[in-house]
Structure 1
Amino acid sequence: MKTTLEELLAFRAVVDSGSITAAADQLGQTVSGISRALSRLEKKLATTLLRRTTRRLELTEEGQGFLARTRSILDAMDEAEEELAARRQAPAGLLRVNAASPFMLHAIVPRLPEFSRLYPKIQLELNTDELNVDLLEQRTDIAIRIGPLRDSTLHARPLCSSRLRVLASPAYLQAHGRPRRVADLAQHALIGNSQLPSLNQWPLRGPQGDSYAAALQFSASSGETMRQLALAGMGVVCLADFMTETDRANGSLVPVLVRSTVEVRQPVNAVYYRNTALSSRITAFLDFMAARLAEP
């Protein structure tokens, strides 16, 4: 059986205070409780640590050696608790964040200068992956996932939602004409996702309901590649607002089939494992991103 923290604390308190009674007062325990803790410790170690006389307690040679180790252990624990307390006040340490490249580039990276000014002691490791990663295998603290969550073993915090729109560049529309009805898309080059077929169901109202199955001429595994294809005038694309906000503002991409578009929003969640209380650096990042992404 292993030695417990309670037993080590009792042993140190008895030595420092000079008696079991004084140690009990110091630790807020009963005299019998301290005495039992010492007895258990000596039994586990199979040695006598203290010689008890009617007048005083005296360390044995073995007790002197064990006391030095006990002090080192308890001092290290005190330092660890103080360090954690300090981190709660000023979050610090390495934070690994994983997200699909479009979200990393368009939603996270632009907000990091402010985050780093607020939390200069947090080191960020940013990794991108177009598919869901295994948080434990990749040693990831936080993963940003877009769309419905499927892994029930993870804890999730909603960050925002992002609307889907059908878009094209002015150059493409000038060359090929603007689709006026959903059925007109059959005559256009459509850009979609090669890895996630569900993303090729566009939120367009038509004869078959509120979803349009896009027949693709160009496909890519990354939403950012799809965006670049659309900007290059290669076709019509369906993308989330978070990656096209600037493009729509400056006119590089313009919405098409607006009246036929159904308002569909993709949920954006931060997911993480949590067996104990979250570290302050994870909490700081989640609070910051949730507040900034919720801004209009």
Structure 2
Amino acid sequence: MTDYTQPMDKLRSLEIFLATCDSGNFASAARSCNTDPSTVSKAISRLEAQLGLTLFQRSTRQLRITTAGKRYSDKVRKLLLDLTSCEEELRHLNDAPCGTLRINSAACYGHLYLRPLLQAFCQRYPEIKLEIEINDLHVDVIENEIDVALRTGFVKDSRLVARRLSPMDFLTCVSPRYLEVHGVPRCADDFQQHSWIGFRIKETQQLQPIFLPNAKGEYLPYVLERTHITDDGEAMAHMCVDGMGFAQLPHFLAKLGLQSGTLVSLFPYYRPPQPDNGVFAIYPKREYLPAKVRVFIEFMASSLEAAGEGTNYTWAENWVPVVNFPV
């Protein structure tokens, strides 16, 4: 019975076997394989024992391949050529930006930040085909064969690498129309009289806390009753634009509304101090990162930088609120 418990030894034996077939003697085969004749002789004997076949007829003056040895060499040569071709193809796929790239993204970030960049990415890398999954499920990246996931909040998994693309900054937003109807809050007690739109985190079913600045400008958790609650970030932003109340929105959800004037912000941005706060590109640990993953992450980072965002900053740092007073 053939022993495959040492595949590298078997592969080495096959290489030595072909070198012996080509050279016709152990000494020449040893030179081409950078070893000694004794090692070649032992490798051939071990291969013959595994196969239960005589591959070479030996004499003191001559080494002659048998019929079985010739047939075996033809098959082995083809297999090794196929293996080399496969390795070269895989190396090309790993080293060149090509092939199918599977991306999983958090819903809001996927719609607002990822989707607008896809056409430019594909134009730059036409050999890459995309498979996009957009949802708020924290899928197992490795089990689901995801190449890269865009997530808000760090995934603590030792099998994964998490590269922060930006912090996640929050802004206290409201529509100008709401302020026209209900007035601008001037003190802490005023907020109790206003409508708030809360966000329920799907994974934990807990409400996202509200943080507001004190007299020193320090952000502290603030207890407010939510008038309306949703578990969809885009719905929360649209409800805020529609004048249904205040909402504390992450920067990527607040951006379009603030830039268009359909939303205004009341305070400077709030950035949670936890190190796991932010937007991350998450991908499996591997010694040789495929080029398609590498160029995508670099493309995202450079695109965000052009839009005023980076590893440790977002555009929200420079946004001027319409109302800025201590609560």
Please give the per-residue CA displacement for 1:133-178, whole angstroms capped at 9, x wherever unaligned. Answer: 1223433222222124333442222222231111112222222222
| Residue of structure 2 in register with 1:272 after alignment | 283
User: Is 111-120 or 49-58 further displaced after alignment?
Assistant: 49-58
Equivalent position to 2:70, from 64, 74, 87: 64
- Contact 2:168–2:271 under 8 Å retained in 1: no
* Corresponding residue for residue 208 of structure 2: 200
What is residue 158 of structure 1 aligned with on the other side?
164
The equivalent of 1:216 in structure 2 is 226
The 3-state SS of whatever aligns with 1:51 is strand
Contact between 1:206 and 1:212, CA under 8 Å: does it hold in 2?
no
Matched, 1:288 2:296: no
Secondary structure at the residue paired with 2:220?
Answer: coil
Decide whether aligned partners of structure 1 residues 43 and 275 sit closer, same or farther in structure 2, where only a CA change above 3 A counts: farther
Q: Which whole-Å CA distance do the structure 2 matches of 1:61 and 1:181 have between them?
A: 97
Contact kept, 8 Å, 1:92 with 1:119, in 2: the verdict is yes
97, 107, 117: which is aligned to 2:103?
Answer: 97
Deviation at 1:56, TM superposition (A): 4.0
Q: 1:213 to 1:17 in 2, by over 3 A?
A: farther
Task: State the one-letter code of the partner of 2:302.
Answer: A
Give the distance between the partners of 1:120 and 1:271, measured in 2 at CA: 23
The amino acid that maps onto 1:51 is: Q
User: Contact conserved, 2:20 with 2:28, CA < 8 A, in 1?
Assistant: yes
Write out aligned runs for 1:1-296 (5 A): 1-2=3-4, 4-195=10-201, 200-206=208-214, 210-256=220-266, 258=267, 262-264=270-272, 266-295=277-306, 296=308
What CA deviation, in whole Å up to 9, does each residue of 1:216-235 have, x standing for no partner? Answer: 22222221221122222222
Counterpart amino acid of 1:61? T
d(CA) in 2 for partners of 1:169 and 1:114?
32
Q: Is the 8 A contact 1:169 1:233 kept in 2?
A: yes
Could you tell me which amino acid in structure 2 is paired with residue 219 of structure 1? Answer: I
Contact 2:200 2:207 survives alignment (8 Å): no
For the aligned residues, what is the CA RMSD?
A: 2.5
Aligned length: 294
SS where residue 111 of structure 1 aligns?
helix
TM-score in terms of structure 2 length: 0.81
Specify the code of the residue in structure 2 equivalent to 1:294: E
Q: Residue 182 of structure 1: CA displacement?
A: 4.0
Greater alpha carbon shift after TM alignment, 83-92 vs 123-132:
83-92
Which SS does the other structure have where 1:58 is aligned? strand
SS for the counterpart of 2:138 is: coil
Instruction: Kindly state the Cα deviation for residue 16 of structure 1 after the two structures are TM-superposed.
Output: 2.1
Q: CA deviation at 1:289?
A: 1.7
Letter of the 2:293 counterpart: I
Does the CA contact (< 8 Å) of 2:162 and 2:282 recur in 1?
yes
Give the Cα separation in 1 of the matches to 2:229 and 2:157.
27
**CA separation of 1:227/1:10 partners in 2, compared to 1, >3 Å: closer, same or farther?**
same
Name the amino acid aligned to 2:210: W
1:75-118 CA distances to partner (integer Å, 9 max, x unpaired)?
Answer: 12211222133234422212211111111111211122221122
| Structure 1: stretches of 5+ with no match in the other structure | none
Task: Note the alpha carbon deviations across 1:169-220, whole angstroms, 9 max, x for none.
Answer: 2222222222233442222221122225666212312499612244222222
Q: Which has the higher helix share?
A: 1
Judge conservation of contact 1:163–1:264 (CA < 8 Å) in 2.
Answer: yes
